[in-house]
């Protein structure tokens, strides 16, 4: 409702919201979710369980949270692989161990890559600054693009993620078709999104928190009541778990299922392109 009243066109509404919140987005994310969004994103990464060599497309990737987690995850898998390898050769000299580290480009991503794609320049700008500050550069690229019309070839990526992004997309069906198009056969679709709490008592408490607390936090922290009220409304209007599952199946994905986290406050939907 607020979306229609305040902004005549949903597309520009969404653009304006993220343009205005970009600089405060991470702080707001932490305060709105009491930091729990970090755990949800970690769970998404464990579900993905990427191996070295994975090519990931993170759509609506914003300030890079999923991309940075992916890089850390792949690095840790490579470290473990290398440690196992070194254990097998315990009688190597230090020189040989050093050479082995060099050869395996210790701490590197190997062939893995992650592309962050987002429609909003400001969000990407904040993400790039964060990446520079945290020292992420290898295997990471940033692309301005619309989830409904992705600027990538067919059958390109191993994994497609969209975290807290799909509810902001105007045509979810188009975004899902695009996800299917750019994934390789065998590729995996993963969507982390706010969803619907089934327990009536918890749902009531969650409503109170969303409508009464989040816009106030938005005003206090970011000086922006309206954008955060939009975020709450967009969560409420988003299709429930089973409906989204059916939409993902309609786009062509197989073995679609979902896991509710925190009683359905968020859900992770997953599917495969065969």
Q: Is 183 in the site for ligand SAM (CB under 6 A)?
A: no
Q: Is 60 in the site for ligand SAM (CB under 6 A)?
A: yes
What string of DSSP letters covers 24-59? GHHHHHHHHHTTHHHHHHHHHHHHH-PPTT-EEEEE
- Using the rule CB under 6 A, give the single segment among 55-63, 97-105, 178-186, 217-225 that binds ligand SAM: 55-63
* Cα gap 36→42, rounded to integer Å: 10
By CB under 6 A, name the one of 165, 215, 264, 271 that touches ligand SAM: 165
Widest Cα–Cα separation across the chain: 72
Give the x-and-dash track for 65-84 against ligand SAM (CB under 6 A): xx------------------
Contact 7, 13 (CB under 8 A): yes
Neighbours of 48 (CB within 10 A): 21
CA-nearest of 223, 261, 207, 217 to 31 is: 217
* Cα gap 266→258, rounded to integer Å: 10
- For the bound state, the minimum distance from the C-beta of residue 97 to ligand SAM, rounded and expressed in Å, comes to 39
- For the bound state, the minimum distance from the C-beta of residue 248 to ligand SAM, rounded and expressed in Å, comes to 17
Question: Annotated binding residue at 146?
Answer: yes
Q: Is 179 in the site for ligand SAM (CB under 6 A)?
A: no
Query: Which residue ranges are tagged as binding site for S-adenosyl-L-methionine?
Result: 63, 118, 146-147
Q: List residues forming the annotated binding site.
A: 63, 118, 146-147
Residues forming contacts to ligand SAM in the complex (CB under 6 A) are 14, 18, 59-63, 65-66, 118-120, 123, 146-148, 163-165, 168-169
């Amino acid at each position: 409702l607020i979306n229609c009243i305040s902004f005549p066109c949903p597309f520009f509404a969404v653009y304006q919201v993220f343009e205005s919140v970009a600089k405060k987005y991470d702080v707001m994310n932490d305060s709105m979710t009491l930091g729990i969004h970090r755990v949800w994103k970690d769970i998404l990464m464990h579900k993905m369980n990427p191996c070295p060599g994975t090519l990931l497309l993170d759509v609506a990737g914003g300030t890079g949270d999923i991309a940075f987690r992916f890089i850390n995850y792949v690095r840790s898998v490579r470290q473990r692989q290398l440690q196992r390898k070194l254990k097998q050769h315990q009688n190597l000299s230090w020189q040989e161990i050093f050479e082995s580290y060099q050869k395996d480009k210790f701490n590197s991503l190997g062939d893995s890559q992650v592309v962050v794609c987002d429609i909003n320049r400001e969000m990407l700008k904040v993400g790039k600054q964060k990446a520079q500050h945290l020292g992420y550069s290898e295997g990471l690229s940033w692309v301005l693009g619309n989830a409904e019309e992705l600027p990538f070839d067919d059958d390109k990526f191993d994994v497609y993620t969209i975290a807290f992004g799909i509810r902001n997309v105007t045509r979810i069906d188009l975004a899902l078709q695009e996800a299917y198009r750019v994934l390789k056969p065998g590729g995996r679709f993963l969507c982390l999104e706010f969803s619907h709490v089934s327990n009536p008592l918890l749902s009531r408490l969650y409503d109170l928190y969303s409508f009464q607390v989040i816009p106030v936090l938005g005003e206090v922290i970011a000086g922006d009541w309206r954008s955060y009220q939009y975020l709450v409304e967009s969560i409420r209007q988003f299709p429930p778990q089973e409906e989204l599952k059916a939409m993902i199946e309609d786009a062509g994905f197989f073995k679609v299922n979902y896991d509710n986290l925190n009683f359905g406050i968020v859900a992770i939907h997953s599917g495969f392109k065969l």
